[in-house]
Each structure stands twice: as C-alpha cells, then as structure tokens.
Structure 1
Amino acid sequence: MKKQAVNPYLPLDEYVPDGEPRVFDNRLYIFGSHDRSHGNRFCMNDYVGWSAPCDNLADWRYEGVIYRKTDDPNNPEKDAMYAPDVVKGPDGRYYMFYGHGSRKPPEQWCINVAVCSTPAGRYQYYGRIELSPWSESYFPFDPAVLVDEDGRVWLYYGFGSGDWRKGNKGRGGAVVELAPDMLTVLSEPGATLPNKYTNTDETLQGHAFFEASSIRKINGKYYFIYSSQLSHELCYATADAPDGPFRYRGVLISNGDYGLNGNTVFRNWWGNNHGSLVEIEGTWYIFYHRHTQQSAFSRQGCAEKITMSEKGDFVQAECTSCGLNQGPLLAKGKYSAVIAANLYNGADTSESICCRRAKGTYFDEETAQGVRTHMIKRFGSSAHAVYKYFLFEGETGIQIRIKGKAKGVFTVIVAGDKTDIPIDIQGKEWESITGVIRFQGESAMEFLYSGTGTFAIRDFGFTEREAHS
C-alpha cells in the first residue's frame, strides 16, 4: 500500500511548530520553530529542515540541522529562536528571518537574518534588523516577509501584549519596508492590525491581533495571516497594498475546532497557534500546530485542505487525521493512535481543556531502550478520540493495542454504528482487543469507553474479513 499522509505530517518524534510552508523548485519546505519532547520551555532545539515533493506530500525528507543557536554571534546564552520565515531574495539567495531573546529584557528582543544559497542548506548569520526605535509600540517578534512582484521587500512582525513586564501593552502588528539587501529598514512601522487593548474595529471584536504574523499575495490581494487574541485560532485579513489597510475576513482554523460549523466546545487540547497558507497543484492548505504531553512546549505540525471561494474568501478548515492526504485514509494496515484529529473529554469546557492542564486524556511519548513509543494516555470514561476520515470497503476487522487498569466496554463508532468490545486489563504490557466494523464508504471513526479505570492506546490496525457465502 502506498504511503499515506497523516497528521501530524512529520515523523511522530519530531516537534516542529509555527510552520511556514514555502514552495521552491517544486518542493514544499517547512520552516518552523523546534520544540523538544517533554520540553520545559519553548523552542529548545536548533532549526531543522524538512521538505516533500509537491506531487507526494507523504514523502517528507529530513534536510538536517539548517541553523544552530550558536550560529548567531549575538546569542551566547543559546536563547530560543522562534518562528522563522524564509524567502528568496532579489539576489537569488534564501533569507531566514527569526526572532530570539526569551531570557533577555523585552527591549533587547530582536529580529535577525541568516542567509543560504539553497532553501535547506546551512544558513549563515547575516545581520540584525534595526527595529529598536519602535519596539515599545511594536514588539520585534514572529517575523514574516514578502518579496513583492515589483521587487520591494516587506517585513511583518509584532506581539499582542507588547512589553507586558513593564505594563506597556503595545499596539499590535506592524509592517516596515526593507531595502533589497533584506536588512535595512526604509520606513517607519505602519499598523497591520491592532491588539485587543487598542482595537476599536467592530469587525475585529474577539479576533484582534496577538502574534504569528504571516503574509501571502493571492490574485493581487495581500493576505495577512495571524493568531488572534484567542490564541488557538489562525485568522486572516486582506488589503489592496502590502502595507494595508488590512480588513479582517475570518478564521482559517482553530486547533480546538472551536467555531467550526458553529461549534462552541473545544474538541482538542487548545493552545497557541501559528502557521500559514500555501497552494500546491491547485489545492490550498493551511498549516498549523497541535499541543501534546499536557504542555505548550511539545507542539507538532499539522496541515489541512482549505476551501477558497471565487471571491477569495476562505472557509474555516476542520482538523483531520488525513490532512495532506489525497482523500480519506484507507481502512487497511496499522495506524498510530496519536493521529486522532480530536482528543477530548466529554465534560470539557474552554477552561479545562487548556494544553497546560493536568487531567484528562492526552497525547504522549515514552522512551525505553532508545525506542520511542507514541500513545494516547489516560483514556477513561468521557474520553473521545476521533479519527477523520477513513474509507471502509465493507466488513472490516479492527485490532487495538491498549494497556492499563480498566474494566468496562470499549466502543468504536463508525457512521453511527457501534462496535462494543468488553475489556478487563490489569497489567503493564500491551494487550490487543478486537472487533468488527460493518460499513462501506467514508466516515469518521470514534473511540469511547465506559467503565472503571484508565488506559493507554498505542495503535490500531484493520484486517479484511473473509466473505461468507
């Protein structure tokens, strides 16, 4: 069976959030921060590169480390490097824009630039963009860059809470023009969108700028992508010029599926979000990240197809398990349990399902003898794991590996039909439970449990059932 694309789209032991998707020479490159499994702060690792051919978005290639913290001469403390963006400059070289300074006073935070002759080679430090005269109004954070068709270069950045440690709440997002050298600032900052403290625009109520600037030019319009004051959602605004004025247009995706089709319950652990749009072979995708390990510091990249209307409006995308795949996943072979599109507890509210909480079911990773195992942990009564979507070809066997201490009924729901599997487990070893799914067609698949105790779910596999005469 041909390899399929799932979410998260990179190998499960990789944690690359804040993904900026860029296409160079018919390959899709992802540039993002680099978290660590069970990390205790943001972006603990060096930048790495990943890419895939545009005609096979399941075939990701590791490009290696492309930039280390120590490559920046102004970073002897090895501070975290955040959310890079990469563009091809007027001279044909590739420029990486990034921010760092988490352990420094906010006035010392900055946006720096590295350069390379290839998209995912070893970048070399190039210089610092001088934004300090305006840093109290526009915090130098989360850079995004556009090289326009006329050769002019624009830098977008900002942070919705400004210098919170000094009580200065700032103004929100900013844009400046850069010289063709990709470093020299040519203009004073103009506003992209206000933060929640300065917003007076009724259309922005609840969706004011927070962070995660990104920029795209689509059919002559400028699309500014950003994370709103709600943090879990990526929104967009458009303008007729690169420096605005920008007008709010809507939500692209929420990593909790909040707001999707009117939904007012979080269907995932929610937390900050960062990503952007890319068109590949006529299809639009939105890249974003999810949260794992009861933490904000071990985030994984995901991507979804997103619909754009003839008028240039995007419809909020749904979190799925099949993401970059060309259609639903086949109900054949084995899948990791952690590709669940939604993982939540039935009684969860917007407060209780925050990614930093310490209760309920969650994605995790364990390492034993050098082998990493990924799983859903603490699955109990009221927990939901939803996989979207699978293509079933008729009566299909399912085998699920679990471990823990629990006694009750494990339920698999496909197209409204339930398969109940009694369980009674008491050990630390993985055990298999089996059932039969009777459905033909495309459907979500949901796992539920009713009973006592909790357990982990490692993976599940499908087997064809023999036809009976």
Structure 2
Amino acid sequence: MFKKMKVFTILAILVLLTSFFGQTTAFADYPIFYQRYAADPSALVYNGRVYLYGSHDVYQSGAGYIINDITCISSDDLKNWTDHGEVFTAKADSSWATLSWAPSVVYRNNKFYMYYGNGGNGIGVAVSDSPTGPFKDTRSGPLVNGSTPGVNPPSGFWCFDPCAFVDDDGQAYLYFGGNGEGNIRVIKLNSDMVSINGSAIKMTAPRFFEASYMHKYNGKYYFSYSTDFSQGAAKIDYMVSNSPTAGFTYKGTILPNPPQNDSNNNHQSIFSFNGNWYVAYHNRALAASNGLASDVRVYQRNMCIDKMNYNSDGTIQQVTPTTAGLTQLKNVNPYVNNEAETMAQESGIQTEACNEGGRNVGYIENGDWIKVKGVDFGSGASSFDARVASDTSGGNIEIRLDSLNGTLLGTCAVSGTGGWQNWTLKSAAVSKVTGVHDLYFKFTGGSGYLFNLNWWKFNAAPKSAAADTNVDLSEVTTPLE
C-alpha cells in the first residue's frame, strides 16, 4: 500500500459537531462521490444501473486542469454509489492521446464506446466489453480533429467535449466543439461507432461555450450546452428541434450555475432512469468542504445529480439545485454480499483494485468511516460478516445505526492476515435490528493503516430470537444526512 495524503476536512468537523450537539447537518446530492475529484459526468443507463463517467481531476500547482484518466461510478438507487476506479487512462490505453477530458459513453453492438477529448485538440474513441472497462483506444490517432471534413475550425476552436447520441432509427451522431456561438459541430458515425460518415455539420447556439449534449424526449431533439461568461456565470441552456442536426429553437435555461461552484464552468448529462428524468453536473462543493483555497478548488470538481421535469408543452422546468432532493429508489439488502466500495459517504478511506475482483476499501486509519444509506433489515439481523485483509495487526469495525456515533450494534475485530490482499472472513454478533436505517462502519485501532474491507453482509436473526435483544431506538442520535 502506498502512503495516503489525508485531509482533515470541514465535512468531518461538521460530522463531529452534528453528533455532539444533536443537530441535523444537511448534505446535498452533491457531492455524490468523495474518494476522488471528478467532473463532466456522462450518464449511461445499463442493466438497471446508472453509470457515471467523469474527468478525474488531479491538482498540480500552476498546471491548470490535469485530466489523464476517467473515473466511473454506478448506482441502482441514486444514493449509494459503487466506485469502479479509473476505467480509461489515456497514456496507457491509447497509442496517441495523453489527456482524457469530458467523456461520453454509449452502448451498442454489445460493446461500450467511450469518446473523449485529448485536451481541446481532438477526440478519440475507446471500446470495452464491460461498462466498467477497461476501455482501449486501438486507433492510431483521433477519430475527429480540426482536419476532419466539415469542421473548418476557426481561430480558437476547441475540438473537445464529445457527445455520442444514437437515434431511434439507429443512426449515431457525435456532437463536439467549443469557444464560440458558431463552434458546434455534429457528424454522423458509422454503425461500427469507431469511424465517421461524411462531413461535419455546423450548428449555432446563443452564448455557446462548451458541453454539447443531445437527448430525445417525445420525438423532439434537445440540444443542451454550457453558456459563456459574457452575461455572468455559465448556465446550462437548451434548444429544441424536429431534427438532430438543424432547425433548433432556443428555449431557455435548464440549470443555473449551481451553489458552491464559484461561478465557474459546468458540464451536464441528461438521462431517464426508472421513469424519471435527471440532470448530472458538477460543482466545487467537495473541494470547498476539504478547505481548499479558491484558486485550487477551481480545478478540483465533484459530480452532482438533480431531478429534471418537463412542462406539458415539452419545455424543461428550470432545475433548482437541492440539498437532499433525490429519493432513494430502493433500499439496500443487508443479507447479501455488499461491496464495501458501495457507499453514500465516507471520510478518510480510499479504494483500490482487489485481487478477488472489483475494488476494496483500503488505506483505513483510526477514525475513518463509511456510510451506507437506506439499509432494510426487515424483521431482524443477529450477526455480521466482513471480508477483510491486513498486513498489520488490524483493528475494529464498529457497526452503528443512523449516525456516526449512533447506536452500536456490535464490533467486528480484525486481526492481521499476513498481507493487504490475503483475505479472510471475520464475524461478529450484533444486537437485533429491524426496519430501515442508515448504516455506519466506523474504523478504530492503532496508528497507521489498519486493514482492508472487500465486502460485508448481515445474517438474519432466528425467528425465535429473544425480544430483549432488540435495539432500543430511543438511543439513536440525530441522523447525518
């Protein structure tokens, strides 16, 4: 394991104050992901899950945006997100690109196609058999750049921010461009999704700056984008047409510049999931909570989601960014193996590749924690299992209800296993708990890294379990939202 740079965050301070004073601190549906800074979300709905792919923001003093790989997270309830790590790295997974800005991912031909910007100088495409990668770009150069027929780039044209869109008739399009009202381009893709068909077509939008995005609703084409700063902070505006390439009419704003974004850039993805429409975007809330200065947090963004609604005439109601606007779509089943890297919130931990598949929670130190929202214990649980590994003397998993210092259900002791990837199963008895609760795993122990956690589960209580083992819910402290 490698050394972890830990930040004692303002968020952690708020958690402690909440527990001490018994007051509720409201946290938004942003940030939805804490382990890394990520932006420019691209949504893919596949097999009952929402996958979000984002630019992974890495900071280096004086270097601006450093985005060399793509982060992926997914969820089936929109509250607990699974961390799939970096699924594409430009230098490792392509022969020509060095950067991977603002991805767009679509599913077709039983494959997943990721379009990405090599900075502002060209667009590549990488392919995978799985939504969680790895994605590989097998081309020897960009799919689209300034030399592509029809692009005819004016001075200052940015060839980036791709959006791939597959129409109902099977025709696929790629939208891209930036830095000027007339700097939108759209070009047809062949059915193989890795080659172009014909010349690019020019499109124009009021105050267009970047973040081209196309979606379809009730037979109409909705082109949305981020505005420039000529009339204040950037917004997500949109136009509507009966055609995917022409005849658009400007309709207004979908999303104003969100809170805690320092009036800076934004990038949206609009998608339908389980009968509702959502807009994913980014702001700088996580960087602010981590206490970063404004000149640093501008380059350290985090992903967000809010619900989006249409009016009866097909126009979009302007979205108001919320503090807790999304409804959890389903509860977590604690009686199956739950991946530890699936969570609603965390403090201190990181995730890493696991030799048993997927990822595990690692770099755990004393006082770190993770939260899983909306766990349905049903008629009761009586014991807890955890798949763990440790190259030190281990530590403990405190299992708590509804807040970081809430009712202690039990403690699972973890001892050394002789290696960070030498996995074993540890178990602990827990007080019987019923109903739906937020679940906290609080990690305690000595100094340094304690152990890794791969997955966890509870075991149902026998029906004859004594009633006096039930948890006294009057002891539960105020939940952390």
Fold match (TM-score > 0.5)? yes
Structure 2 equivalent of residue 42 of structure 1: 65
CA distance in 1, matches of 2:38, 2:88: 14
- Residue deviations 1:242-290, cap 9 Å, x none? 1122211111112346xxxxxxxxx752100001211222222111111
The match for 1:136 among 136, 139, 153 is 153
Would you say 1:11 and 2:13 are equivalent positions? no
State the secondary structure of the residue aligned to 1:188: strand
- Inter-CA distance 323–14: structure 2 relative to 1 (3 Å threshold): farther
The structural deviation recorded for 1:154 is: 0.5
Q: Which amino acid aligns with 2:72?
A: G
- Inter-CA distance 5–150: structure 2 relative to 1 (3 Å threshold): farther
Structure 1 equivalent of residue 129 of structure 2: 117
Would you say 1:62 and 2:83 are equivalent positions? yes
The structural deviation recorded for 1:38 is: 6.9
Structure 2 equivalent of residue 80 of structure 1: 99
Q: Is the 8 A contact 1:20 1:275 kept in 2?
A: yes
Q: Is the 8 A contact 1:270 1:290 kept in 2?
A: no
After TM superposition, list the pairs within 5 Å mapping 1:99-178 onto structure 2.
Answer: 99-101=117-119, 109-127=121-139, 128-133=142-147, 134-137=151-154, 139-161=158-180, 171-178=182-189
- Which structure shows the bigger proportion of residues in strand conformation? 1
State the secondary structure of the residue aligned to 2:34: coil
CA distance in 1, matches of 2:39, 2:197: 31
Q: Is the 8 A contact 1:9 1:302 kept in 2?
A: yes
Structure 1 unaligned regions, length at least 5: 103-108, 162-169, 195-203, 258-266, 328-334, 339-367, 375-397, 400-461, 465-469
- Inter-CA distance 286–35: structure 2 relative to 1 (3 Å threshold): same
The structural deviation recorded for 1:116 is: 0.6
- Inter-CA distance 12–287: structure 2 relative to 1 (3 Å threshold): same
Q: Which amino acid aligns with 1:97?
A: Y
CA distance in 1, matches of 2:303, 2:212: 17
State the secondary structure of the residue aligned to 1:88: strand
Q: Which amino acid aligns with 2:204?
A: L
Q: Is the 8 A contact 1:175 1:243 kept in 2?
A: yes
CA distance in 1, matches of 2:28, 2:167: 33
- Inter-CA distance 45–10: structure 2 relative to 1 (3 Å threshold): farther
State the secondary structure of the residue aligned to 1:124: coil
Q: Is the 8 A contact 2:50 2:74 kept in 1?
A: yes
CA distance in 1, matches of 2:298, 2:199: 34
- Residue deviations 1:77-135, cap 9 Å, x none? xx33100000112x221110001146xxxxxx110000011111201113331443325
- Inter-CA distance 172–373: structure 2 relative to 1 (3 Å threshold): farther
The structural deviation recorded for 1:148 is: 1.2
State the secondary structure of the residue aligned to 2:281: strand
Structure 2 equivalent of residue 309 of structure 1: 311
The structural deviation recorded for 1:66 is: 0.8
Aligned Cα RMSD in Å? 3.3
The structural deviation recorded for 1:174 is: 1.1
After TM superposition, list the pairs within 5 Å mapping 1:154-303 onto structure 2.
Answer: 154-161=173-180, 171-194=182-205, 204=206, 208-230=207-229, 232-256=234-258, 269-291=262-284, 292=287, 293=292, 294=294, 295-303=297-305
Structure 2 unaligned regions, length at least 5: 1-25, 330-343, 348-362, 370-402, 405-475
The match for 1:98 among 116, 119, 122 is 116
State the secondary structure of the residue aligned to 1:308: coil
CA distance in 1, matches of 2:215, 2:32: 24
Fraction of identical pairs, as percent: 28
The structural deviation recorded for 1:57 is: 1.1
- Residue deviations 1:15-65, cap 9 Å, x none? 111001120111000011111367742243521211001xx1112111122
CA distance in 2, matches of 1:11, 1:156: 27
Q: Is the 8 A contact 1:5 1:323 kept in 2?
A: no
TM-score (norm 2): 0.57
CA distance in 2, matches of 1:373, 1:59: 18
Q: Is the 8 A contact 2:104 2:162 kept in 1?
A: yes
CA distance in 2, matches of 1:141, 1:275: 14
- Inter-CA distance 130–232: structure 2 relative to 1 (3 Å threshold): closer
Q: Is the 8 A contact 2:101 2:119 kept in 1?
A: no
Q: Is the 8 A contact 2:43 2:105 kept in 1?
A: no
Q: May I ask how many residue pairs the two structures share in their alignment? A: 301
Q: Which amino acid aligns with 2:283?
A: R
Q: Which amino acid aligns with 2:131?
A: P
CA distance in 2, matches of 1:157, 1:316: 24
State the secondary structure of the residue aligned to 2:254: strand
TM-score (norm 1): 0.58
Q: Which of 1 and 2 has higher RCO (CA within 8 Å, sep 6+)?
A: 2
